[in-house]
Amino acid sequence: MITSTTSVVDFDKALLDFRYLLDCFIEVLENLGQEALARHIGGDSKTPIREFDCAERAIQAWSIVFQLLNMAEENSAAQYRRRIESSEGVESLSGLWGEALRHLKNLGVTEAEIAAELPQIEVEPTLTAHPTEAKRRTVLEQHRELYLLLVKRENRMWTPAERDKIRTDIKVVLERLWRTGEILLQKPEVSAERQNVLHYLHTIFPDILPILDNRLEKAWAVAGFDPAITADPRNLPRLSFGSWVGGDRDGHPLVTAETTQETLQEMRRHAIELVHRQLERLASMLSLSGRLQSPSRAMEERMETLRHKLGKAGALAFERNLHEPWRQFVNLMIAALPAGTTENEHYCYRRHTELLKDLELLM
């Protein structure tokens, strides 16, 4: 058994990836007339940074170089972990569900005991606008785009022309980075810090959470346990998020009661928009014909209740996809969502538990 960790890096691969990214960056600098700086970061020049006409630009170049090195190492670690998981199994990676479940089984803990504890686990990562985080959100987004292109390049299916296109796309992102100011020149206001946090809560995390659930489901099945247990989301650990931004009334002199109120209202609005988006995606996948299968009696009764409570909005939602009851039901759930920071004039959900109960009727 290989005793590996998720942080192990295949340094040979990391070096190849880094050299590839560095060559792309050197080409970008050369095309922009920065030949001296290109030679400098390529190791062909011993000129000290202070002797460049603009030392700030030289420092920025090295900042990008170090970021490229970090990307190459992260990608190498991710690929190495995938190889180990494929050859040795999910239980071979320390610190993850597979190893934890195997350890519990070896200790004699039963499946029923583990299953009973899973929904009692609560994890709450807390976000904050740390003063050491100086990079702008737009720069972080370009770093992510660059990393995804590096991962895309891993696929062996690409033709030479397609691989050239990926290289061109990488150089385009690198040029944007070079032309973009990397750090914040002024202390950000609370509203700007709040937008940065909302970007992760609204855009990044919703795509990551299903991956975490899938990893637990896979590890559970590999451990020889009943897959039906983890297939029910009510049996999974609880993961929620906290935030200091806009609510740090002890440590931030610019955070007032009004600021906290604005923050809560904006987070609520984004949460509702996120649920709305996810329900629309769900509705698009539930094109099940009522002529081929029948929904449960409980779902039919709840659908009729929502239809009448929502009035005109309920009628419109119900008529949108006739003969597709599951999609009609989700349409009604969308119509029952609160409107932004205020309640709808008609009936709407007032507690998240109401929405969850309706979702359970779809299961």
Looking at 256-322, list the stretches that DSSP marks H as alpha helix, in order from N- to C-terminal side.
257-285, 297-309, 311-319
Q: Within 10 Å of residue 108's Cβ, how many Cβ atoms?
A: 7
**CA distances (Å), origin 250, targets 61, 80, 125, 133, 245:** 39, 44, 20, 20, 12
Dihedral of alpha carbons 189, 253, 127, 341, sign: negative
**CA distances (Å), origin 30, targets 25, 34, 40, 194:** 9, 5, 11, 38
Q: Please pick, among 130, 199, 252, 276, the residue that the annotation labels catalytic.
A: 130
Supply 195's token pair: 């937008």
**CA distances (Å), origin 310, targets 333, 344, 348:** 10, 10, 8
| pLDDT, one tens digit for every residue, the chain (363 residues) | 334 444 466 788 899 999 999 999 999 999 999 998 898 888 877 777 776 777 788 888 998 999 999 999 999 988 888 888 888 888 888 888 999 999 999 999 999 999 999 999 999 999 887 654 556 677 878 888 999 999 999 888 999 999 999 999 999 999 999 998 766 556 667 787 888 888 888 888 998 999 999 999 999 999 999 999 999 999 999 999 999 888 887 777 778 889 999 999 999 999 999 999 999 999 999 999 989 999 999 999 999 999 999 999 999 999 999 899 999 999 999 999 998 655 556 789 999 999 999 999 987
- Cα-flanking dihedrals φ and ψ of residue 54, to 5°? -130, 95
- Identify the bridge partners of residue 183 per DSSP, sorted by sequence position: 135
Q: Would you call 130 a catalytic residue per the annotation?
A: yes
- Identify the bridge partners of residue 238 per DSSP, sorted by sequence position: 122
Q: What single-letter DSSP state applies at residue 345?
A: S
Q: Rounded to 5 degrees, what angle do the CA atoms 147, 80, 168 make?
A: 30
- The residues near 344 (Cβ < 8 Å, ≥ 6 apart) are 313, 337, 338
Residue 268 has a pLDDT of 92
Contact, 331 vs 283, CB < 8 A? yes
Residue 340 has a pLDDT of 60
Which three-class secondary structure state does DSSP give residue 233?
A: helix
Which residue do the tokens 């937008």 mark?
Answer: 195
